[in-house]
Chain A
């Protein structure tokens, strides 16, 4: 690749560098801007008089005596009890990831090792399920959940998210398991292992890269979900994302909107860390799906 890149005409080279920089600005600037703005008062972040106020913090200086203020964070975390929502989010994410992976590895392994015709149909069914917007299912949950008093609590949401997550998890783990040579567990079976023992002692030790990648995507799905969590959780059990939506629902009184900005920045931080540490796995997960087509 480098040989060809070296031969690029200067004009094209400059043009593509400018394009990359422009894209980086598009991708990163909104986050930097919002992070910076979250330490300001509303009149600075949403400035009517002069947009540079958002950078210099003129009004913030007047109100709080310093160009930076943690008032938004104080409002969100202390006054509105955002901590509870953060804890809920992490409970939901933790259990969704663990359960999805347990179910998914068993199912994905079985699909990759069975040559019968029904595996194809199961994978196609999973593809169709993956295509359906989760919100279309929510209308179907409401009535039974109300009838059986299951509505509003975390375990219900967890199991629903696990189920919605399964089609994707199955496809992904299926393709990972297909790359693990069949001879590995075949030979274990020849040595007298049952299928489950072969899975337990031979496959589990070598499957971690695929499982970690799939786990990351399960985490993202649970963390990012809005449709299911906002409909199935009661007010006390809300996770972060529906809570942020609720901040917006309350009137745009002064200060309140900055609670939402601070909450948004707080909710972005874990994702930022995640990308920082697991960039390679995320990229490989995205491309693994594509190569299988």
Chain B
């Protein structure tokens, strides 16, 4: 295909991505270096026949004018990245210098909103992803043994948690684990503690969020592994069987290696998706116990005063996090590509 033809074919999609993905990234980076103008203060001297008093007031017109002229605000460099709401360099240094122990330092770190968000985001990403893969593999292996007629029904119901709107899925589960809901009741009965509430405990909340994560994504892994199981090399399995490999050994040495490329694929997609964990925190109303980077951005943008600069700084840090997460894949793809050319 000629360059010219390619250009015209690619123009609409390229333009859409340029205008609404690439430029906003630039805009986010710029925004994160600016902060809104402070109010313009004027000193007014009011004199009475007896004395003069000087008052400082906000010049509303001048403030509005400067905010109108330069909507970006004033340039502050990396200040926003380093302030208490983000990397909190000063607070971290202080916590480190005054630490009683390493654990004490960590608990102080955990009081800073940004580190709390990072802790949950990273924990969620790296706990849920392997669990999704294991759960998906287990379901795929089990479904593979059920009667062929049932498979359609099984796949239909399995797809539901995956296609459901994340916020709605989270709400549906949240209403069930509510202390007045059915699972909440069951847990109270099992623990023998009628005051047990998942909403009151950070640990239980984290576990619930992660269970939601596995519930939501396991069908995706299942469908992909199940498709992979349909292309199993039967001759290899029979050969392994003749050589006396047990069921476990066949799974370990024939089936799993066959599925390995799919595992990599699922892991990649899941790392990307779990890193943006957001809806379940809103749905579970869990922000007192767990926050994520995406939630922090959302929280800054919503609310009474929109803190655009703060949201932008968190966004940039999140994008850097995604880049770190993705870098092994990119390097590998690049090597494969160079190998092919």
Residues in A lying within 8 Å of B, measured CB to CB: 1-2, 4-5, 8, 12-13, 16-17, 19-20, 23-24, 26-28, 30-31, 33-34, 37, 45-48, 51, 54, 102-104, 106-107, 109-111, 113-117, 120, 122, 124-144, 146-147, 159-160, 162-164, 166-167, 169-170, 195-196, 199, 220, 223-224, 226-227, 230-231, 241, 244-245, 248, 260-261, 264, 267-268, 271-272, 274-276, 279, 282-283, 286-287, 289-291, 293
Contacts and interface: CB of A to CB of B under 8 A. Distances in A.
Contacts of B171: 244, 248, 260, 264
A107 B145 contact: no
B208 interface: no
Given A231-B298, A231-B302, A293-B265, A271 B157 contact: no
B227 A290 contact: yes
Interface stretch (B22-30, B57-65, B89-97, B107-115): B22-30
Nearest to B306: A142
Interface in B264-294: 264-266, 272, 275-276, 278-279, 282, 285, 293-294
B175 A139 contact: no
Contacts of B223: 283, 286-287
Nearest to B227: A287
Contacts of B141: 16
Contacts of B265: 289-290, 293
B176 to A, nearest CB: 6
A106 B308 contact: no
Given A163-B20, A245-B282, A28 B168 contact: no
Contacts of B28: 136-137, 139-140
B125 to A, nearest CB: 12
Contacts of B247: 12
B181 interface: yes
Contacts of A109: 9
Q: For chain B, give the interface size range.
A: 35 or more
A136 B181 contact: no
Contacts of A227: 278-279, 294, 298
Given A47-B180, A260-B171, A271-B163, A23 B139 contact: yes
Contact of A147 (B71, B272, B294): B71
Contacts of B159: 275, 279, 282-283
B145 A276 contact: no
Contact of A135 (B168, B264, B278, B323): B278
A50 to B, nearest CB: 9
B183 to A, nearest CB: 9
A56 B237 CA distance: 52
A274 B162 CA distance: 13
A28 B24 contact: no
22 contacts: A27-B219, A34-B176, A46-B181, A110-B5, A125-B17, A131-B325, A133-B275, A137-B21, A137-B28, A138-B301, A139-B28, A140-B26, A195-B1, A196-B5, A264-B172, A268-B164, A271-B165, A283-B159, A286-B224, A290-B266, A291-B227, A293-B265
